[in-house]
């Protein structure tokens, strides 16, 4: 019998630059380079360009990439997003049915939501084994961010289908302690819930001294103390606290708030900046991945935020890139949340409640006036990453999980 293949399913893959795409690309390439037969079933769009049509089939760094046809309405309107989801469900299911052999391992990510259900149906039909890689928990996230979209009945059905796909799987990979608690509370056996945090490419993201960082000159930041928010400005995050702090810090000519990225909340940031004429707030678009060491290193301290009601449902994985760049973090959200606990445990930043713009501004001024404190927190972050959250450690955990499944004679399901 041929060795079982590893088949990933996610709506985005390289050359897309979204966070789920980059993490998936890292792992798929690593597994292929380690000798595994790896295929990715994905879409032909990019996260920021629904009309972009990528190649249907190609082999990238040892990974077989199969891109299925979907609608291309994009993320702006709910109806269009739903159509894109449904078309991906049908196309991906059909591709999996054609592709899978008995014993193959299907790893379903959570974009689009409930992809684990579609993958479980195909896996069951073809005798494949399934692993769910949970980047978030749907429909619970939707209940927080878009409560008007799902009726109570639809949400209940979605939870029942999702829970069935979790029970069907050989393993469910979660990103942190609080997410593990949420999943275990659904009644899954403990040995089917595996915690493997997301990662940053800590080999590529090395600390860059300000005087060696070309973006400092390119963005007119030389001699400035830079506080950066880098990544998706989505509805899961909160920005009024950051904007309030920016307003309080406007009197400091050498402190700049830098926003790198895009998302649904960017217009809110731009309106506030224009309304209050904040010369100390600068926005630049997403940066190519090869510039990530510079864009993360351009800051002295980074901002991370998450709505408190989403703790355990989402983990802001941008924290690991910040740690790799050896920078401190100011977290805005639940003081008992996943990232807040890590900051306190490793003394690599501080957490602030939503609305505490004054406390956040005072912390930024403290780091500005005491660069040795800022440097110590950054060094602590990198040391913790090297010890606990390195890419190499995550890869070892994934390889151990998948090799263990490949060596099982029969699928083991409750």
- Residue 154: which residues within 8 A CB-CB, separation 6 or more? 139
Sign of CA dihedral 238, 241, 243, 246: negative
Edge to edge, the sheet with strand 171-174 lists 57-60, 63-68, 38-43, 6-9, 105-108, 129-133, 171-174, 193-195
Place of tokens 């959200």: 333
CA 32 to chain centre: 22
φ, ψ at 56 (rounded to 5°): -70, -40
CA proximity to 245, closest of 254, 255, 235, 236: 255
The predicted model scores a pTM of 0.92
β-bridge pairing 57-60 and 63-68: antiparallel
pLDDT at res. 19: 83
pLDDT at res. 288: 87
Residue pair 116/166 in contact (Cβ under 8 Å)? The answer is yes
CA pair distance 233, 267, nearest whole angstrom: 10
In Å, how far are 49, 139, 177, 197 from 163, measured between CA atoms? 32, 11, 19, 21
pLDDT at res. 18: 82
CATH number given to 6-199+390-406: 3.40.50.2000
CA proximity to 104, closest of 7, 9, 34: 7
Look up residue 58 and give its two tokens.
Answer: 């190609």
Asked whether the domain spanning 210-386 has the same topology as the one spanning 6-199+390-406, the reply is yes
CB-neighbour burial class of residue 223 (10 A; exposed 0-12, middle 13-18, buried 19+): exposed
| Per-residue pLDDT of the chain in tens (414 residues, 90 and over written 9) | 457 899 999 999 999 878 889 999 999 999 999 999 999 999 998 877 667 778 999 999 999 999 999 998 887 777 888 899 999 999 999 999 999 999 999 999 999 999 999 999 999 999 999 999 999 999 999 999 988 788 899 999 999 999 999 999 999 999 999 999 999 999 999 999 999 999 999 999 999 999 999 999 999 999 999 999 999 999 999 999 999 999 999 999 999 999 999 988 999 999 999 999 999 999 999 898 899 999 999 999 999 999 999 999 999 999 999 999 999 999 999 999 999 999 999 999 999 999 999 999 999 999 999 999 999 999 999 999 999 999 999 999 999 999 999 987 665 554
H/E element, 219: none
pLDDT at res. 146: 85
pLDDT at res. 50: 62
pLDDT at res. 410: 61
pLDDT at res. 378: 98
φ, ψ at 282 (rounded to 5°): -120, 140
Look up residue 172 and give its two tokens.
Answer: 């469910």
Topology of the domain covering 210-386: Rossmann fold (3.40.50)
Cα atoms in the Cβ-side hemisphere of radius 13 Å centred on 391 = 19
pLDDT at res. 413: 52
Look up residue 72 and give its two tokens.
Answer: 């291309």
The three-class DSSP label of residue 304 is strand
In Å, how far are 211, 214, 232, 289, 329 from 221, measured between CA atoms? 11, 10, 22, 21, 19
Domain positions in the chain: 6-199+390-406, 210-386
DSSP code, position 109: -
């Amino acid at each position: 019998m041929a060795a079982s293949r590893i088949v990933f399913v996610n709506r985005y893959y390289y050359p897309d630059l979204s966070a789920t795409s980059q993490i998936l690309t890292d792992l798929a390439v690593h597994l292929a380079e380690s000798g595994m037969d790896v295929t990715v079933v994905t879409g032909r769009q990019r996260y920021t360009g629904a009309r972009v049509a990528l190649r249907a089939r190609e082999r990238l760094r040892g990974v077989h990439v199969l891109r299925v046809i979907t609608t291309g309405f994009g993320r702006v309107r709910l109806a269009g997003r739903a159509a894109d989801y449904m078309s991906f469900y049908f196309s991906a299911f059909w591709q999996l049915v054609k592709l899978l052999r008995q014993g193959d391992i299907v790893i379903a990510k959570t974009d689009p939501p409930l992809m684990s259900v579609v993958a479980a149906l195909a896996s069951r039909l073809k005798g494949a084994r399934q692993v769910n890689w949970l980047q978030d928990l749907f429909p619970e996230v939707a209940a927080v961010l878009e409560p008007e979209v799902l009726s109570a009945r639809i949400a209940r059905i979605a939870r029942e289908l999702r829970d069935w796909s979790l029970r069907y799987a050989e393993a469910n990979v979660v990103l942190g302690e609080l997410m593990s608690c949420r999943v275990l509370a659904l009644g899954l056996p403990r040995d089917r819930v595996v915690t493997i945090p997301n990662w940053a490419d800590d080999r590529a993201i090395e600390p860059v001294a300000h005087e060696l960082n070309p973006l400092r000159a390119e963005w007119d930041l030389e001699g400035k103390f830079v506080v950066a928010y880098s990544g998706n400005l989505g509805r899961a995050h909160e920005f009024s606290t950051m904007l309030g702090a920016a307003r309080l810090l406007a009197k400091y000519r050498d402190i700049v708030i830098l926003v790198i990225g895009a998302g649904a909340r960017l217009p809110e940031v731009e309106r506030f900046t224009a309304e209050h004429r904040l010369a100390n707030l600068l926005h630049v678009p997403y940066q190519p991945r090869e510039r990530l060491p510079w864009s993360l290193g351009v800051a002295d301290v980074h901002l991370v935020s998450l709505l408190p009601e989403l703790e355990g449902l989402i983990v802001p994985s941008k924290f690991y890139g910040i740690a790799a760049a050896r920078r401190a973090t100011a977290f805005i959200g639940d003081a008992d949340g996943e990232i807040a606990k890590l900051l306190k445990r490793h003394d690599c930043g501080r957490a602030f409640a939503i609305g505490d713009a004054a406390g956040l501004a005072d912390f930024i001024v403290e780091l500005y006036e005491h660069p040795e404190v800022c440097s110590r927190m950054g060094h602590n972050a990198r040391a913790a990453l090297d010890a606990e959250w390195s890419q190499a450690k995550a890869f070892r955990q994934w390889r151990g999980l998948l090799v263990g499944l490949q060596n099982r004679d029969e699928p083991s399901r409750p």
